[in-house]
Structure 1
Amino acid sequence: MIELRNVSKTYPNGTKGLDGINLKIEKGEFVAIVGLSGAGKSTLLRSMNRLHDITEGDILIDGNSITQAAGKELRTIRRDIGMIFQSFNLVKRSSVLRNVLAGRVGYHSTLRTLFGAFPNEDVELAFQALDRVNIVEKAYARADELSGGQQQRVAIARVLAQEAKIVLADEPVASLDPLTTKQVMDDLKRINQELDITTIVNLHFIDLAREYATRIIGLRAGQVVFDGPVSEATDERFAEIYGRPIDQDELLEARLADIAAAKEPVR
């Protein structure tokens, strides 16, 4: 499904964002990418849909080079790749339904989408997507009236309406509280399993990576330093990825424990 061949990314200041990465990600996998801030996680993810251009190598999506693609070919490849961002990337003043319908833009002419003239089939698809993430009752609410967790569910519904074959999620729960984090991750995992959508997620919390992913890729200084099943992602392996032992703030369970302790009455 996705193949990276000797992929490197060098920024204008000479910094290596990615350094000789070779990966194959198969259809239906749920992959978590972990590493310290600046390790290259976002650069890697955004290179897969050409939000970032690489400076060396090639990236193939279903056998087609997205690196070399242009014009209609690039738009067609990107149509199969849904993106979920930490900041949700919704049009805050538009309705939830209108935001979800944005996932259909790649299927229609610019003029048609500019006027919001989506066919009934697209509207029905949008409602189905909202129902799948349990937020259909908010269809006509403004996006900025929703909580952070609800907004992220709208973003997930948008990629479902897009009928994406691949979902790239860049720190999708970093802005959410621990309870909402679990709900959003449950949605992503359920969609991955029920629809066989290849899902690649950048995660800060190590225990989330272990709980939800089937495969973990560890980055350090733009290089892959670990790639294997969750069963092999021991604390020792994570220490190698991070170059130090795991910190408590890299565990969601530790944050939950801190919240619970703060709520305990003083005796």
Structure 2
Amino acid sequence: MIEIKNVSKTYPNGTKGLQDIDLTIEQGEFVVIVGLSGAGKSTLLRSINRLNEISSGTISIDGESITDAKGKKLRKIRQRVAMIFQSFNLVKRSSVLRNVLSGRVGYHGTLRTILNLFPKEDVELALRALERVNILEKAYTRASELSGGQQQRVAIARALAQEPSVILADEPTASLDPLTTKQVMDDLKRINEEDKITTIVNLHFIDLAREYATRIIGLRAGEVVFDGPVSEATDEKFAEIYGRPIQKDELLGEDLDEAISQSTDQ
């Protein structure tokens, strides 16, 4: 599905963002990338759909090089790769439905999307996407009126409306409370399993990586230092990835148990 060959990224100031990355990610995998801040997680993720330009190497999706693609071909490849951001990236003054329909922009001309002239089939697709993340009742609500967790669900629905074969999620739970974090991760995992959409997620919390991933990739200083199944991601391996013992703020477990308990009591 995704082939990353000899990929490196050097910034203008000489900082190495990525160094000789070689990875093959198969269709339907749920991959979690872990590492300290600055390890290269976001750089790698954003390189897959060319939000970041790499310095050398190639990245291919379904056998097509996105690294070399230009114009219409690049847009066609990007249609298959949906992105979910930490900050949601919603148009707050627009309705939830309009935000989800923005996932269809790549399929239509500029004038049509500016005038909000989406066909009936697109509207139905967007409403189904909202239903799948349990937020259909908010379709005509302004995005600014939603909680953070609800906004991230809208972002997931927008990605679904794009009908992608790949979903990239860059720290999608970083600004959410523990209970909402679980709900968002449950949505992503369910979509991955039901639709066989290849899903790659950057995460800070180690126990989330263990709970949801089928495969964990550890980055340190722009290099892959671990790549394997969850069963091999021991505390010792995480210590190697982070270059130090695991710290409490990198575990969500106790906070999540407390949040679930409080929710049940209410």
- Shorter-chain TM-score bucket reads over 0.9
Q: How does 1:175-214 map to 2 (within 5 A)?
A: 175-214=175-214
Q: What is the aligned partner in structure 1 of residue 127 from structure 2?
A: 127
Give the corresponding residue for 1:65.
65
Match of residue 95 from structure 2: 95
TM-score (norm 1): 0.96
Q: 1:73 to 1:34 in 2, by over 3 A?
A: same
Structure 2 contact 178–256 (Cα < 8 Å) conserved? yes
SS in 1 for 2:84: strand
SS at match of 2:21: strand
RMSD across aligned C-alpha pairs, in angstroms? 1.4
Partner residue in 1 for 2:111: 111
**SS of equivalent residue, structure 2 residue 59:** strand
Displacement of 1:253 in angstroms is 1.1
Which range moves more in the overlay, 233-242 or 246-255?
246-255
The gaps in structure 1 that reach 5 residues or longer are 263-267
**Deviation, structure 1 residue 129:** 0.2
One-letter amino acid of the structure 2 residue matched with residue 239 of structure 1? A
Residues of 1 paired with 2:258 and 2:225: CA distance?
A: 31
2: CA distance, partners of 1:208 / 1:193: 17
**Partner SS, residue 14 of structure 1:** coil
CA contact (8 A) 1:36 1:242 kept: yes
Match of 2:9, SS state, is strand
The letter for the 1-side match of 2:59 is I
Match of 1:158 in 2: 158
- Is 2:39–2:221's contact at 8 Å kept on the other side of the alignment? yes
Question: Is the contact made by 1:249 and 1:255 (CA closer than 8 Å) also made in structure 2?
Answer: no
In 2 relative to 1, CA 67–248 (structure 1 residues): closer, same or farther, beyond 3 Å? Answer: same
Q: Deviations over 1:208-267 (max 9, x none)?
A: 0000000000000000000000000000000000000000000001334687999xxxxx
**CA offsets, 1:144-164, max 9 Å, x none?**
100000000000000101001
Give the 4+ runs in structure 1 shifted more than 2 A.
254-262
Is contact 1:248-1:254 (8 Å) kept?
no
Deviations 1:163-203 (A, max 9, x none): 01100000000000000000000000000000000000000
Partner of 2:151, secondary structure, is: helix
Q: Using a 3 Å threshold, how does the CA distance of structure 1 residues 34 and 143 change in structure 2: closer, same or farther? A: same
Q: Name the aligned partner's letter for residue 252 of structure 1.
A: L
Q: Give the match's secondary structure for 2:72.
A: helix
**Cα deviation digits, residues 47-87 of structure 1 (max 9, x gap):** 00000000000000110000000000000000000000000
Contact 1:103/1:159 (<8 A) preserved? yes
**Paired residues of 2:130 and 2:157 also in contact (CA < 8 A):** yes
The residue identity in structure 2 corresponding to 1:39 is A
- Please give the alpha-carbon distance, in whole angstroms, between the structure 1 residues aligned to 2:186 and 2:57: 34
Q: Aligned residue for 2:23?
A: 23
Q: Is 1:246 matched with 2:256?
A: no
Match of 2:255 in 1: 255
Q: 1:97 to 1:255 in 2, by over 3 A?
A: same
Question: What is the Cα deviation at residue 90 of structure 1?
Answer: 0.2
SS at match of 2:154: helix
Between the aligned partners of 1:238 and 1:23, the Cα distance in structure 2 is 19
Distance 1:260 1:111, change over 3 A: closer
Supply the AA of the counterpart residue of 1:36.
L
| Unpaired segments ≥5 residues, structure 2 | none
- Residue 207 of structure 1: CA displacement? 0.1
